Amino acid sequence: MGTSNSEKIIGPLLEGAREAGAEVETLYARKLKIAPCTGCMTCWMKTPGVCLQKDDADMARRKMMDADVVVLATPIYFFNMTSYMKNLMERTILPTALPFLREVNGRFGHPSRFPDRTLNVLLVANAGFWGEDVFAPLLQTLERCREAGLEEDGREHMHFVGNILVGFGEILQTEPFGHFFEPLFEELRAAGGELVETGEVSRATCEKLAEPLFTYMNMDADQAVQMANTYFENVIKHVEETQA
């Protein structure tokens, strides 16, 4: 299991998928050499489906398109996905579209360059805050991306097979509390198996996993806020004393 909050959440999930027979490969967006999209439209018109920039994006795009399911895991930064994740999506998803403008159900988008392919996506996100509003901007962004690729007959080129949204995720960095989250890790392993066996993570499973992590510690929201603020106060005090 990795050390970041996202890795601690995604680790058991992927473990459960492997145990159910899936072949799993992990790409770390922050470790890939992917330059930002320049908006040159070369991948749309001059080199169809292939970006002009030669880096890791083409490799990532091919792996994503060949996968049965792509699991997008990101912490919430500034109420959305990380810049690493957005950069990855811009460079891997945009080349799969054609440049033509099209309106479907009152929403503008681009037709797919690969009309017979669908990108099945499981979203896994965690945040220091909790509640639906914390994850809403990310969900709205991804939903708009899904709508942009809709065919007139309703077929999707980006299909979401579940949203695992974990609140109060920062507590996973506190080692003394680690034992509280063994039930969470077991639920995530089960979710990985469910994904392989059924092709999705059910709404019921996602709702169960959406419980803020402080509930695994038998705490309420007020207690969680007090604990978090006390922690930050102590860290700041220690830093000030060290620098004095």
- Tokens 């106060």: give the residue: 233
User: pTM higher than 0.75 for the full model?
Assistant: yes
**CA–CA separation, 151 and 62 (whole Å):** 22
Going by their DSSP bridges, the two strands 102-104 and 158-167 should be labelled as unpaired
Over residues 23-27, the mean pLDDT reads 98
Average pLDDT, the chain: 96
Query: How high is the pLDDT of residue 175?
Result: 77
Over residues 237-244, the mean pLDDT reads 93
Q: Where are the domains of the chain?
A: 5-219
Is 5-219 a domain of CATH 3.20.20.70?
no
**CA–CA separation, 127 and 74 (whole Å):** 9
Query: How high is the pLDDT of residue 46?
Result: 96
Query: pLDDT digits over 110-150, tens only?
Result: 999 999 999 999 999 999 999 999 999 999 999 999 999 99
Q: How confident is the model at residue 162 (pLDDT cuts 50, 70, 90)?
A: very high
Q: Please provide residue 163's backbone torsions phi and psi, each rounded to the nearest 5 degrees.
A: -130, 110
Per-residue pLDDT at 210 exceeds 90:
yes
Quote the Cα angle for 208-145-196, to 5°: 45
Over residues 180-186, the mean pLDDT reads 96
**CA–CA separation, 1 and 207 (whole Å):** 24
Query: pLDDT digits over 74-120, tens only?
Result: 999 999 999 999 999 999 999 999 999 999 999 999 999 999 999 99
Q: Please provide residue 64's backbone torsions phi and psi, each rounded to the nearest 5 degrees.
A: -65, -40
Which residues, 6 or more positions from 110, have their beta carbon under 8 angstroms from its beta carbon? 97, 98, 99, 100, 101, 102, 148, 149
Over residues 50-75, the mean pLDDT reads 97
Would you give the distance in Å from CA 113 to the centre of its chain? 24
Query: pLDDT digits over 211-235, tens only?
Result: 999 999 999 999 999 999 999 999 9
